[in-house]
Amino acid sequence: EAEVAQSPRYKITEKSQAVAFWCDPISGHATLYWYRQILGQGPELLVQFQDESVVDDSQLPKDRFSAERLKGVDSTLKIQPAELGDSAMYLCASSLDRGFVSPLHFGNGTRLTVT
Amino acid sequence: DAKTTQPPSMDCAEGRAANLPCNHSTISGNEYVYWYRQIHSQGPQYIIHGLKNNETNEMASLIITEDRKSSTLILPHATLRDTAVYYCIVRVPLFYNQGGKLIFGQGTELSVKP
């Protein structure tokens, strides 16, 4: 079964440094989501793309976070500068959603530790 | 904010059915009920979804009440590998305004015991 690929699996960085995460969704999936999950809590949506366009970034801290999906396929989430409170799991998900209801499929995430 | 209410934790004996309840009393007519689970250090895994009718797949069954204000996820023969956090989520389809995304709550931590 096709999977959502994320890299790196783990990332340790010092505060004030820049960090980037990469996501490759399932082939043909139009919609891509980035979530953040703090330990002990449910995932929280950061940004939603439909093809290459952002459709919801209302919860993205835009002073330090940016996300792009230039060709409507893979995506990058960047944090600059990283803060201690950014330590979390960053999850990417994709869904087919071409005119019908389809589930989100998640990758196994990138675990970020900011020291 | 999440629109569902779930018990924080449940236990189930291995080999028995696990019945996980979910209340979604404010669900709208266009919202689907989705269930995901998350095993430690992995991404959420899709289980099943439904609108009005009961649904069954190879993993589980979803029972939705006639008024759609609550639902139950049934794992028919729980195994130790079913130990996870289970999330019940109501989701607006993508083709509606603000649709597509999943809004997670705290979920139910299911422990399957030998």
Q: What is the DSSP string of B10-60?
A: EEEETTS-EEEEEE-TT--TTPEEEEEEE-TTS--EEEEEESSS-EE-SS-
Q: How far apart, in whole angstroms, are the C-alpha atoms of residue B43 and residue A7? A: 13
Nearest C-alpha in A relative to B89: A42
State the pLDDT at residue A70.
Answer: 87
Q: How far apart, in whole angstroms, are the C-alpha atoms of residue B22 and residue B46? A: 16
Q: Judge contact between A105 and A5, C-beta under 8 A.
A: no
| B80 φ/ψ angles, rounded to the nearest 5 degrees | -60, -30
- Which one-letter DSSP state was computed for residue B80? G
Q: In chain B, which residues have their Cβ closer than 8 Å to the Cβ of A36? A: none
Q: Decide if A103 touches B, using CB distance below 8 A.
A: yes
Angle at B28 between CA B75 and CA B34, to 5 degrees: 25
Q: If DSSP codes are grouped into helix, strand and coil, which group holds residue B4?
A: coil
Nearest-Cα distance to chain A for B104, in Å, is 5
Say yes or no to pLDDT of B1 above 70: no
State the pLDDT at residue B41.
Answer: 85
Size of interface A-B (CB pairs under 8 A): 58
Taking 70 as the pLDDT cut, the residues of chain A under it are: 98-100
Q: How far apart, in whole angstroms, are the C-alpha atoms of residue A47 and residue A79? A: 13
Q: What is the pLDDT of residues B36-59, one digit of tens each?
A: 999 988 999 999 999 999 999 999
State the pLDDT at residue A72.
Answer: 86
* Pairing, β B108-113 against β B9-13: parallel
> Does A55 sit within 8 Å of B100, measured CB to CB?
yes
State the pLDDT at residue B40.
Answer: 87
Q: What is the pLDDT of residues B66-105, one digit of tens each?
A: 999 999 999 999 999 999 999 999 988 777 766 788 889 8
Q: How far apart, in whole angstroms, are the C-alpha atoms of residue B101 and residue B99? A: 6
Q: Which of residues 28-67 of A touch B (CB under 8 A)?
A: 31, 33, 41-45, 48, 50, 55-56
Q: In chain B, which residues have their Cβ closer than 8 Å to the Cβ of A58? A: none
Q: Judge contact between B82 and A40, C-beta under 8 A.
A: no
State the pLDDT at residue B2.
Answer: 62
Radius of gyration over every alpha carbon of chain B, rounded to an integer in angstroms: 14
Rounded percentage of chain B residues whose pLDDT exceeds 70: 96
Q: How far apart, in whole angstroms, are the C-alpha atoms of residue B33 and residue B71? A: 8
